[in-house]
Amino acid sequence: MAAPNMTPADQHAAELRSGIFFGLAAYGLWGVFPLYFKLIETVTPTEILLHRIVWAVPFGALIITLRKQWSDVVSAFRDPRMIAWLALSALCISGNWFVYIWGVVNERIFEASLGYYINPLMYVAVGVMFFGERLRRAQLLAVLFATIGVLVLSVQGSGLPWVSLSLAALFTAYGIIRKRVAIAAMPGLFAETALLFPLAGAGLLWMMLSQRAEFAGAGAATNTLLLLSGPITVFPLLFFAVAARRLTLTTIGFMQFLAPTMQFLIAMYFGEALTTPRMICFGFIWAAVIVFSVDALHTARKQPAVRPGVA
């Protein structure tokens, strides 16, 4: 709530500062995700995924209660069409989570970061191929640079970077589906995890009963980290939701490259090989990011400020 004596300009400035803070917090947390998964790399990717889904539900319910958004959740579950779309988006995001976890614990952090660099460019490509959108020259150049980078890595490197392409494709599909569904970010995530909860809960219980799970049998540190997978999943999205209401799409667009850059640096910290094909690939990707960002900034200056939807 704004202070009584604040002018509209002061209120806007305060809103902008808080939006930047929450945006940086969201992308910063996403950026350090590899560190979290490295701490629990003795746990299988499947079990980690199940924990993320299971513990996101009660923590998400707490957030929904605090934000008084239960009416949105109830409305969603009363609409069979919306539930069908959310079930599909849930499959996409859980697939994205699994590939990302697998990539980190199998020393593919470079590929994971590449996936999130090319994700915005994949959105553009999908818009052209499936929605009849036209590319501006700068966008075409950015997509061309990214394509060359991926091809170089595929031909001269260790083969097609399927981790990168899978992450980008799954998250692009998730974003397109969620764009079709009229539900805010937090209620949508809660509905998705709630839909996955029965299968995830049953799978985790089976793993524990058959002694295939690390949970409970592991040390206190590992168990605590697995329990924290719920807040770790929900908090960044909550922060992003707040930032998205207070910042322009252009500002959010620039911030999205923070996370893969941090992941790239973490990959170097853990000693992943920055081979010549990888350096060439990332060179083209960074060139694409620069062209894409400059074009987005130039276009935004010609248009009225547009804010993303509600959270």
Q: Is the pLDDT of residue 70 over 80?
A: yes
Model confidence over 18-36: pLDDT tens digits? Answer: 889 998 999 999 999 999 9
Portion of the chain with pLDDT greater than 90, in percent: 56
Give the confidence band of 245 by pLDDT, cuts at 50, 70, 90.
Answer: confident
Entry pTM: 0.88
Which phi and psi (to 5°) does residue 177 adopt?
Answer: -65, -45
Query: Which has the closest alpha carbon to 60: 215, 196, 233?
Result: 233
Cα–Cα distance measured from residue 303 to residue 270, given in angstroms and rounded to the nearest whole number: 43
pLDDT of residue 309 exceeding 50, the answer is: no
CA dihedral of residues 238, 239, 245, 251 (deg, nearest 10): -140
- Report the alpha-carbon distance of residue 171 to residue 163 in Å, rounded: 12
pLDDT-derived band at 4 (thresholds 50, 70, 90) equals: low
Q: Which of 8-12, 47-51, 210-214 has the lowest mean pLDDT?
A: 8-12
Which amino acid does the sequence have at 84? A
For 292, the 3-state DSSP assignment is helix
Predicted confidence band of residue 253 (pLDDT cuts 50, 70, 90): confident
Instruction: Report helix angle 229-246 to 8-31, nearest 10.
Output: 150
In contact, 93 and 169? CB cutoff 8 Å? no
pLDDT single digits (tens) 185-217: 899 999 999 999 999 999 999 999 998 888 877
Q: Any residues with CB less than 8 A from the CB of 33 and at least 6 apart, and which?
A: 100, 104, 232, 263
Q: Which long-range contacts (CB under 8 A, 24 or more apart) does 299-305 make?
A: 299/136, 300/248, 300/249, 300/250, 305/248
Computed over every residue of the chain, the mean pLDDT equals: 88
Q: Which two structure tokens, joined as six digits, stand for 194? A: 């709630």
Question: Would you place residue 5 in the very low, low, confident or very high pLDDT band (cuts 50, 70, 90)?
Answer: low
Supply the pLDDT for residue 3.
54
| Residue 297 pLDDT level (bands cut at 50, 70, 90) | confident
Q: What is the mean pLDDT of residues 259-278?
A: 93
Q: Is 130 exposed, middle or buried (0-12, 13-18, 19+ CB in 10 A)?
A: exposed
Is 70 exceeded by the pLDDT of residue 131? yes
> Cα–Cα distances in Å, from 233 out to 47, 59, 84, 218?
15, 9, 22, 21
Share of the chain above pLDDT 70, in %: 94
* Among candidate residues 259, 210, 234, 238, the one with its CA nearest the CA of residue 47: 210
